[in-house]
Amino acid sequence: MRAFNRFYTKVIGALQAGMLDSPYSLTEARVLFELAQAERMETGELRGLLGLDAGYLSRILTRFEADGLITRERSAADARKQLVRLTPGGDEVFTGLDARSAEVIGRLMSGLAEADQERLVSSMAAIRSLLSAAEREREPYVIRPPRPGDLGWVVERHGALYSSEYGWGIEFEQLVARIVGDLDLTRDTGWIAESGGRRVGCVFYVRQDATTAKLRMLLVDPAARGLGIGRRLVEECLRHARAEGCKRITLWTRDSLVSARRIYQAAGFSLESQEAGMENGVPVNEQMWSLALHPTT
């Protein structure tokens, strides 16, 4: 991690005396950025947002004021508080820094193939997600149809995740691979949940006959759990089923998948049958659930 920090700070020029050919340091540029996002900001809020020492921030603001970049005034509501805003000159300096930053990133990315650009952005999103639970909670997500490469991810993620969490082993991954291999995407369909450029969930709708279908392979990555993604995936599957005129949808699960079962129950599924089984030497309880559907009007 320290080696990565040294590498990346060098790549973005964070250790240079002036950021982006400007007279301002990285910290000063960051203060300008935050002030540009708000009409005005209280100094205590700015200090807390950036984690800066009060004296250090005061020196930065004094320099900005001398350069004509900001104005400071006492709060009408609380005279103990100081409000800061950018001047037109400050807006101009920030706009220039922002444009040069975008140019630098553009040059860095231009040397990479499109697939490598996606991999880079996805990796950055993964770092943010893993190191910041609060950031993870705010991260938006999209639900989209499968694209090339997604089906391989579905098999890999099922195998790795359920082996890690339940000890189900490679035979379970082979089972998922067979299910994926049997998909007929001229009649079956699926949805991939994506957040920060990274796949974080999936579900599939498999047509059985003219009136019956199966919900299959619902999965939400641990990094994205608690955001309602599983519920949204199931809702999308059921919406599609009703639009297709499907009258009954079934699913197979195991009682150890507690979160998934809660989603199914909330969506109206009922337990039809269950029987004891074994997966990689681990006892499991196989369950079949079903839901009668009423087509949308």
Q: What is the 3-state secondary structure (H, E, C) of 254-271?
A: ECCCHHHHHHHHHHCCEE
Tokens found for residue 237: 């599957």
Residue with tokens 């002036």: 18
Looking at residue 10, its amino acid is K
Per residue in 127-137, pLDDT tens?
877 777 655 55
The pLDDT of residue 181 is: 96
Q: Which CATH class is domain 2-111?
A: mainly alpha
Q: Which CATH number fits domain 142-292: 3.40.630.30, 3.40.50.720, 3.30.365.10, 3.10.100.10?
A: 3.40.630.30
Q: Which of 101, 103, 99, 83 is nearest to 91 (CA)?
A: 99
What's the pLDDT at 26?
86
Q: Where are the domains of the chain?
A: 2-111, 142-292
Nearest to 221 by CA among 125, 119, 148, 289: 125
Angstrom distances, CA of residue 157 to CA of 81, 91, 107: 51, 46, 33
pTM of the model: 0.61
Residue type, 292: A
Q: How many CB atoms lie within 10 A of CB 3?
A: 7
Q: Of 197, 257, 265, 254, which is closest to residue 231 (Cα–Cα)? A: 265
The pLDDT value given to residue 297: 46
Low-confidence spans in the chain with pLDDT less than 50: 297
SS3 19: helix
pLDDT of residue 118: 81
> Which secondary structure element, helix H or strand E, spans residue 72, and what is its range?
strand 70-74
pLDDT of residue 198: 86
pLDDT at residue 276, rounded to an integer? 96
Pairing verdict, β 212-220 and 248-254: parallel
Question: Helix, strand or coil for residue 183?
Answer: coil
* Cα–Cα nearest to 249, from 218, 220, 289, 219: 289
Q: What's the pLDDT score for residue 223?
A: 80
Say how many C-beta atoms besides its own lie within 10 A of residue 146's C-beta.
Answer: 18
**Neighbour tally for 132: CB within 10 Å:** 12
Question: What's residue 187's pLDDT?
Answer: 93
